[in-house]
């Protein structure tokens, strides 16, 4: 515990020093990066030691508020999420120090460096808090800090819009959590978070679960409260996007896990988690394929992955409710393994996407192309991250999804017929999602890195500095290690499984199967990479003549004749178009040889456009009627005052009437 307190103290210094040195942007950024990286390394070492030893410790500090106590603590669940936080935080600090070099003189980059350290500290306190008041204060600090970091380029309208959506939805979640801890404090007589199982039944128990699901589910990006995520994550600086997606979404997952550990949830709550998780996974995957914005597609991928995590968590909770230890262990293991995997590969993908955006100055896939030759290191790590996101065997993401499939198959065997139908639907949803994600990741890599440059900016793109490439390479290495040695990840998950009252040895057959499949998959991937390298070496020694290829009758094909992101997604969009808000751009050509053709479509999330934005537009139209009451006439306002006085006096007369 002392090591983690030292890490928090280091993050405090990493925040204060850049602010004190803010007149010298480069120096302040360097100091913030160094102190932040070292503090995260110390925190990672302490968290890893506490997790592997399954230690439990607490610390109580001075507290001047009339409610609550400054009580922090560590247990296996907190330690696991702290490992994800500090690991991703180290990569974000190093990457962000180089990423922000383009803004000195234009932006106060020292504030950005300090803000990232504040964010890491607040999230760490969320995971360590053992008092509801401390938890809420740290949660609010996390929300406000991330809002400011998202709005780093606030002069752009889309950045302000995304930051505002983030702030509104997060404060809706905070309001629900205030209600949760108020009810919990009333039942327990204290705001201290219970360290053991509690029994709260009836209406109060249902209210606690409902408020927790709304508060933590909003933060995690569960559908249908997910619409803030694709608006906020793409517009943030890329190292901040990596933290938002890789870590901050997990605070909602952590809250749900903590809620489940407080007591045995009813089977109905588990089915709600399974349904919402499946819905989030499907909606996220569909929008991932449909959108043509690189970072926005990764944001929808985060929704899909959080859906998988919550679905697996629901299966684990169902196993506890139905008295099936194997189902519970498989479900919780799949969820926790995917928490680790998603932290690694999504941090990698967002940082790689940031390098692409940094080099091409655009997020549109159709404005990229041919980047593999110009940015070979970024292309390689992006390909590894995309493979991990698609759950290819041999990479991170496969073992965790394998456990989710195993838990669904176990549910098919153990549950009653109605439950078997739901489990079969979950299997279908997961398989459908997997296919869409594989297609979406293939499209993102193919359109951005393959072919020829579509714009001048893409043609002039160059590889990014080592300060951005090295963190990505380390994350890519972890993607491979987690895929080849899933036992290492299971060693991190086992203490949390034991904390839930389950035996980790139940997972031995499943982990052996996942290891074998991962090794075979990696051998296949390595064979493909070796053949590609051999081909390149052999062709490098030969004299190769170049000439025009046949281009459907065009003698000199141009970059505009390549497949676009929209054309790649068109077959999928036509099938699932009812779930999307699609709009046609341009007109279908009527001539056999049109002089110019501008035709395409845009596909956006129907939940966002027809749901939330549509509801807001409807309210705005209805409230516009009230504008007719606002006139510049003084006499009209005097009439309003006179009518209001008559109403108030009439009401007062009724109150004093005997």
Quote the mean pLDDT of the chain: 85
C-alpha triplet 211, 213, 216: angle, nearest 5°: 100
pLDDT digits 0-9 by tens, 68-95: 888 899 999 999 999 999 999 999 999 9
The answer to which of 160-169, 263-272, 351-360, 547-556 has the lowest mean pLDDT is 547-556
Cβ distance 134 to 72 under 8 Å? yes
pLDDT digits 0-9 by tens, 103-134: 655 667 778 888 899 999 999 999 999 988 99
pLDDT at 146: 92
Would you call 36 helix, strand, or coil by DSSP? helix
Q: How far apart are CA 284 and CA 297, in angstroms?
A: 9
Q: How far apart are CA 296 and CA 394, in angstroms?
A: 26
pLDDT at 74: 92
Q: How far apart are CA 237 and CA 225, in angstroms?
A: 23
pLDDT at 464: 87
Alpha carbon separation from 283 to 287, 433, 523, 555, 567 (Å, rounded): 6, 9, 33, 42, 20
pLDDT band at residue 386, thresholds of 50, 70 and 90?
very high
Q: Which residues contact 426 (CB under 8 A, 6 or more apart)?
A: 274, 278, 311, 315, 408, 411
Q: How far apart are CA 599 and CA 591, in angstroms?
A: 14
pLDDT digits 0-9 by tens, 488-506: 888 889 999 988 888 888 8
Pairing of strands 599-605, 70-74: unpaired
At residue 225, does pLDDT exceed 80? yes
Tokens of 572: 């999928």
pLDDT at 546: 65
Q: How far apart are CA 473 and CA 380, in angstroms?
A: 9
Would you call 1 helix, strand, or coil by DSSP? coil
pLDDT digits 0-9 by tens, 274-305: 999 999 999 999 888 888 889 999 999 999 99
Host H or E run for residue 249: helix 249-261
Q: How far apart are CA 488 and CA 52, in angstroms?
A: 11
pLDDT at 455: 85
Burial level of 540, CB count in 10 A (0-12/13-18/19+)?
exposed
pLDDT digits 0-9 by tens, 229-255: 988 989 998 889 999 999 999 999 999
pLDDT at 527: 85
Tokens of 477: 């290495």
Rg (CA), the chain: 27
pLDDT band at residue 573, thresholds of 50, 70 and 90?
confident
Cis preceding linkage at 557, omega within 30:
no
Cβ distance 351 to 95 under 8 Å? yes
pLDDT at 589: 67
pLDDT at 105: 57
Strand partners, 104: 107
Strands (E), 289-333: none
Cβ distance 232 to 150 under 8 Å? yes
Burial level of 595, CB count in 10 A (0-12/13-18/19+)?
exposed
At residue 326, does pLDDT exceed 60? yes
Q: How far apart are CA 87 and CA 481, in angstroms?
A: 15
Question: What is the share, in percent, of the chain residues with pLDDT greater than 90?
Answer: 33
* Sole residue written with tokens 């609550």: 68
Provide the sign of the torsion angle of the four alpha carbons 276, 278, 284, 290, taken in this order: negative
Please, where are the H alpha helices in 104-201? Answer: 109-128, 132-150, 157-188
Q: pTM for this one?
A: 0.89
Q: Which residues of 179-212 are buried (b: 16+ CB within 10 A; e: fewer)?
A: bbbebbbeeeeebbbbeeeeebeeeebeebbebb
What is the C-alpha end-to-end distance of the chain, expressed in Å? Answer: 67
* Sole residue written with tokens 């249902």: 206
Strand partners, 199: none
Rounded (10°) angle between helices 76-99 and 109-128: 170
pLDDT digits 0-9 by tens, 143-164: 999 999 998 888 888 899 999 9
Q: Which residues of 344-381 are buried (b: 16+ CB within 10 A; e: fewer)?
A: bbbbbbbbbbbbbbbbbebbbbbbbbbbbebbebbbbb
């Amino acid at each position: 515990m002392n090591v983690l307190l030292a890490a928090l103290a280091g993050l405090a210094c990493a925040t204060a020093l850049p602010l004190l040195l803010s007149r010298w942007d480069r120096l302040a950024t360097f100091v913030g990066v160094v102190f932040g990286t070292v503090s995260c390394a110390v925190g990672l070492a302490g968290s890893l030691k506490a997790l592997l030893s399954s230690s439990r410790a607490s610390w109580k500090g001075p507290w001047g508020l009339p409610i609550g106590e400054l009580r922090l603590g560590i247990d296996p669940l907190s330690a696991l999420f702290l490992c994800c936080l500090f690991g991703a935080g180290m990569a974000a600090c190093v990457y962000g120090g180089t990423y922000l070099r383009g803004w000195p003189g234009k932006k106060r980059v020292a504030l950005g460096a300090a803000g990232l350290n504040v964010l890491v500290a607040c999230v760490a306190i969320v995971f360590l808090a053992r008092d509801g008041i401390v938890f809420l204060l740290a949660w609010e600090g996390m929300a406000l800090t991330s809002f400011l970091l998202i709005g780093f380029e606030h002069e752009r309208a889309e950045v302000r819009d995304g930051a505002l959506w983030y702030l509104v939805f997060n404060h809706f979640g905070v309001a629900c959590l205030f209600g949760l801890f108020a009810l919990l404090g009333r039942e327990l007589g204290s705001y201290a978070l219970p360290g053991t199982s509690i029994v709260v039944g009836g209406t109060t128990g249902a209210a606690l679960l409902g408020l927790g699901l709304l508060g933590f589910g909003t933060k995690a990006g569960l559908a249908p409260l997910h619409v803030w995520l694709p608006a906020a994550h793409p517009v943030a600086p890329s190292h901040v996007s990596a933290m938002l997606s890789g870590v901050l979404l997990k605070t909602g997952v952590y809250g749900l896990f903590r809620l489940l550990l407080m007591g045995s949830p009813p089977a109905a709550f588990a089915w709600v988690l399974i349904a919402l998780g499946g819905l989030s996974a499907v909606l996220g995957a569909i929008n991932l394929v449909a959108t043509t914005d690189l970072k926005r597609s990764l944001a929808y991928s985060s929704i899909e992955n959080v859906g998988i995590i919550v679905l697996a968590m629901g299966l684990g909770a169902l196993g506890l409710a139905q008295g099936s230890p194997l189902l519970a262990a498989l479900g919780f293991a799949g969820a926790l393994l995917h928490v680790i995997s998603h932290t690694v590969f999504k941090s990698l993908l967002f940082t790689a996407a940031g390098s692409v955006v940094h080099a091409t100055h655009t997020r549109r896939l159709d404005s990229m192309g041919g980047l593999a030759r110009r940015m070979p290191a970024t292309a390689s790590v992006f390909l590894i991250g995309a493979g991990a996101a698609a759950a290819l065997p041999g990479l991170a993401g496969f073992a965790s999804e394998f456990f989710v499939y195993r838990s669904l198959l176990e549910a098919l065997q153990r549950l009653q017929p109605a439950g078997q139908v739901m489990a079969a639907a979950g299997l279908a949803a997961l398989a459908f999602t997997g296919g869409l994600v594989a297609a979406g990741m293939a499209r993102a890599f193919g359109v951005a890195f393959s072919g020829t440059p579509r714009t001048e900016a893409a043609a002039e793109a160059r590889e990014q500095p080592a300060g951005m490439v090295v963190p990505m390479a380390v994350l890519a290495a972890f993607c491979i290690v987690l895929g080849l040695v899933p036992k290492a990840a299971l060693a991190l998950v086992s203490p949390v499984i034991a904390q839930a009252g389950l035996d980790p040895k139940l997972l031995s057959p499943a982990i052996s199967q996942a290891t074998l499949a991962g090794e075979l998959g990696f051998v296949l991937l390595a064979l493909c990479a070796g053949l590609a390298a051999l081909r390149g070496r052999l062709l490098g020694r030969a004299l190769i003549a170049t000439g025009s290829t046949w281009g459907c009758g065009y003698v000199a094909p141009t970059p505009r004749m390549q497949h676009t992101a929209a054309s790649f997604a068109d077959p999928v969009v036509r099938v699932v178009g009812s779930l999307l808000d699609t709009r046609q751009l341009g007109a279908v050509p009527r001539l056999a040889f049109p002089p110019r053709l501008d035709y395409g479509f845009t596909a956006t999330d129907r939940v966002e456009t027809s749901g939330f934005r549509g509801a807001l537009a409807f309210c705005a139209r209805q409230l516009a009627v009230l504008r007719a009451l606002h006139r510049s006439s003084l006499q009209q306002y005097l009439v309003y005052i006179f009518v209001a006085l008559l109403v108030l006096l009439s009401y007062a007369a009724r109150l004093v009437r005997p």
